[in-house]
Chain A
Amino acid sequence: MAETVVKLRLNQQQLELIDRTIAQGVAPDRVALVRLALHEYAAARKAEVHKSGMEQAQ
């Protein structure tokens, strides 16, 4: 299936923070950092939902 392109609009301060984060070795480039953020953010939410479900079941 085709990829979907989302065009983020970021100002120079936001880009500075992103670039400093990349410089720490977190991701190789800006796009990779956004992808990493998506994967980790979604995984954290999935874990929260799972934890909440486990607690309700107890």
Chain B
Amino acid sequence: MAILSFSHVRKRYPGGFEALKEISFAVEPGEMVFLTGHSGAGKTTLLKLIAAIERANGGTVLVNGQNVSAMRPAAIPFLRRNLGLVFQGQKLLFDRSVFDNVMLPLIVTGYPYREAARRARAALDKVGLLEREKANPVTLSGGEQQRLCIARAVVNRPGILLADEPTASLDAAYADEIMEMFSAFNQVGVTVLVATHDRQLIDKRHKRVLTLDHGKLL
């Protein structure tokens, strides 16, 4: 059964702009899928619907068999705990260390501290930031900050990883490195959905590609 499926999903923003029109697709567990399209095509909106940051105006969004578009607000936190989100402009907290930024999702879900610390270090190790755990995120480069966001997204060991333009502000070599990281998570069984407009990165990897054009799936 699909881990993620859209059927006839529509999203209209207040003011009448139709961001998504009749979107239907399904993603199998363990799949890695690229989502592409021009800017304003609806990539970000689609990802936001999965995490219940926005609600669809029609159709159903199923995540792990749960209908997200009809979910009670009180159930949303528990949906998000199984999602790793790497979103554009997603902020790091500059009032605490790299380590504490990664700890946050575990503290929020009530992990015992010792076990949480072990996991946080493991996540930092995977993205190559273990030596910087005591640093303040403000001292990290753009690419390192993006890696920190990824560590924070995977520390909970989510079943689905969603990334919105994770390589937007990075040079080609660095972008490739980030993309390799997502592939690595996919290889250990995580379902990965990456939105990007960078065709070069997509073409290298021979994965399924969903293309959005003015809110429609091609």
Pair from one complex: no
Residues of chain B touching chain A, judged by Cβ–Cβ distance below 8 Å, are: none
Residues of chain A touching chain B, judged by Cβ–Cβ distance below 8 Å, are: none
